[in-house]
Amino acid sequence: MSNPPTTQNAVDNTTESIAALQSLLESGSLLTRTQLSSLGKKDILEYHFRHDSLVTALDSIATNFKAVTDRLNRAEASVATLRSSNDKLAEHCKSLASRLDDVERQATNNAQYLRRRQLEVKNIGPVTNSAALKRSMADLLSLTGEVVSPNDFDKCHTLGKGVIMEFKTREKRDAILRGRKNFKSKAAELKSMKMEKPMVLESLCKQYGQLDFICRSLSRSNSIEKTWFFNGRLHIDVDGETHHQISHITDLYEIFGMASIQALIRK
């Protein structure tokens, strides 16, 4: 059994048939009634043969046109099937992306939860790991109004140009965070300790550190009113009235648009 003609073959055959028909028309194969009445028997037979050729050409055109139409219909059906499959795949990808966002959000919160008893102290000048480090940090943090002793620390060591510490209880850490505003009235004591402008901060996991950096950049560019981090949660105040909690980069995309946030990250 011969293979069905391809669309291109059918188009080529149709083109050839149309060319043949045009040749017949140009050769005078189509005659008027008056012209036919003046023909002799020989001329009529010749005209009959030409008429058969014309009919054959028209049949060929019709056959090839049907072949082209059939293939186009099959192609349209295939395109519709592919479009439906693509829509389903797009919806599935959207669902997977949403689930991935949820997993990343939970992983970020879990990583931050592990730091729930930690604090970082920055902007305090040169420090070194020594036996006196816990004592000096206890004296500094006691200026918050919360009595702190070296025994309150589970761990305490330098981190870059600052100090990171983990308390034995979360309650002690939270009390220090709430009292850090009292540093403003302890200028003399801080000066004598050579730590005039200490910064006491929650220790952030990598993911929250990146989000916090972006939010502070938004604040510096006046895109938001303010941003803060407290009790394991990152917050922004857009205009003094609109508050959002941020735990994933998509939260910022929804508020400011992906292009704006990506441009801020690249700076």
Q: To which residue do tokens 């009959």 refer?
A: 48
In a domain, 133, yes or no: yes
The pLDDT assigned to 1 comes to 47
185-241 pLDDT, tens digit per residue, is 999 999 999 898 999 999 999 999 999 999 999 999 999 999 999 889 999 999 988
132 located within any domain: yes
pLDDT value at position 10?
A: 56
Measured distance CA(79)–CA(61) in Å, rounded? 27
- Do residue 198 and residue 261 come from a single domain? no
Q: Is 104 inside any structural domain?
A: no
| pLDDT of the residue at 42 | 58
Residue 219 lies in a domain: yes
The 10 Å Cβ neighbour count of residue 75 is 11
> Is 46 part of a structural domain of the chain?
yes
| Per-residue tokens: 91 | 């919806």
Is 159 part of a structural domain of the chain? yes
Amino acid 92: pLDDT: 93
Same domain, 26 and 79: yes
pLDDT averaged over 10-residue windows placed end to end, the chain, 267 residues: 55 58 52 56 59 74 86 91 93 93 94 95 87 93 96 93 94 95 94 91 95 94 92 92 94 94 85
37 plus 73 within the same structural domain: yes
Same domain, 199 and 217: no
> Does residue 205 contact residue 111 with C-beta atoms inside 8 Å?
yes
Residue 163 pairs in a beta bridge with 121, 158
Q: Which residue is associated with the tokens 């058969």?
A: 52
Same domain for 46 and 57, yes or no, is yes
Which CATH number is 188's domain given?
A: 3.30.70
> Full-prediction pTM beyond 0.75?
no
- Range of the structural domain that residue 74 is part of: 7-91
Question: DSSP for 92-129?
Answer: HHHHHHHHHHHHHHHHHHHHHHTTTTEEEEESS-----
Residue 69 shares a structural domain with residue 127: no
Residue 110, domain member (yes or no): no
